Structure 1
């Protein structure tokens, strides 16, 4: 029964995210970082999709765009669909010099198994304490929320997505990246 209630609460909160503001205001999960300001820095352990556990820092990606996406949990239907879509579109991201980084509170072993099971070739980062998720206003009671942040080559936050639809999100991000890159 407790598992059912927890799952129901997560579903209700995820649906509620669809109606929350996307302008850096207070939103479910905390205060969002401010658009057009430096994105919060972090260093986390993760799996690069090649079996190697290593440290990943946002600063490592200066000079290229970053899609930083937070998701609730490895191996769940919505998270699996979102990861599969990002993987399917990975060549298009690489053509645009864009790095995808997925973040959840799952540990590196879970991420490794998820990468292996889904054939993911982009890093999944373990925010086991939830500290980075909190910095990005993407944390709620032991889970990262489904939020995405586009960060430009100078490390500046350019777009925030709250409560995304996993089935279409990757294509939405690619379209917005094209507009942002063209405007830069």
Structure 2
């Protein structure tokens, strides 16, 4: 299982981009950038599209913060492409195909007995070290606004209290 402040597991895989374009992505190519990598169980399910479209609703904020967002599941690029075409539309970020399940396993989110990933979220800093790890039950969707808040907190390099928002004081004075 990866740990905070440790190197993020490297990967290279095919991904589907807006417009259905299939290209190879590699974490190595993103060195120097903040990366938000999130895993979801499967295409064409009930909770997953709510998360993917919520990340789309916040994609301009992630980009403004200098972060690259990528979704990942064990589905094929062809499944991703059809789901995007028929149901979701353009997301503004790629969906990675992890057919071999190697990426999910390396990140510690593979549910072996089901052959799918649970909902794992990883924030990777420009030095490719893990700064945030969040893992949810497959039945519980994430809140993209909270991931955005955590990204800002990680980027601040300061102590940030629970509920901290950009513009708040970093250290809460004790009474």
* Residue from 76, 79, 86 that aligns with 2:45: 76
Cα deviation for residue 63 of structure 1 reads 1.6
**Alignment RMSD (CA, Å):** 1.3
Question: SS of the residue aligned with 1:181?
Answer: helix
- 1:148 paired residue number: 121
Cα deviation for residue 77 of structure 1 reads 1.3
The residue correspondences of 1:44-55 to structure 2 (distance < 5 A) are 44-55=13-24
TM-score by length of 2: 0.83
**Structure label with greater radius of gyration:** 2
Gaps of 5+ in 2: 159-175
Residue 121 (str. 1) matches residue 92 (str. 2) = yes
Deviating 4+ runs (over 6 angstroms): none
What whole-Å deviation, never above 9, does each CA across 1:24-49 have from its counterpart, x for those lacking one? Answer: xxxxxxxx201101100000101012
- 1:15 paired residue number: none
- 1:135 paired residue number: 106
Q: Distance in 2 between matches of 1:93 and 1:133?
A: 23
Cα deviation for residue 50 of structure 1 reads 2.4
- 2:78 paired residue number: 109
Shifted more, 39-48 versus 59-68: the winner is 59-68
Q: Distance in 2 between matches of 1:93 and 1:50?
A: 20
Question: SS of the residue aligned with 2:15?
Answer: strand
Gaps of 5+ in 1: 1-31
Higher helix share: 1
TM-score by length of 1: 0.79
Q: What is the aligned residue count?
A: 152
* Residue from 39, 44, 57 that aligns with 1:88: 57
- 1:24 paired residue number: none
Question: SS of the residue aligned with 1:77?
Answer: coil
Question: SS of the residue aligned with 1:50?
Answer: helix
Question: SS of the residue aligned with 1:46?
Answer: strand
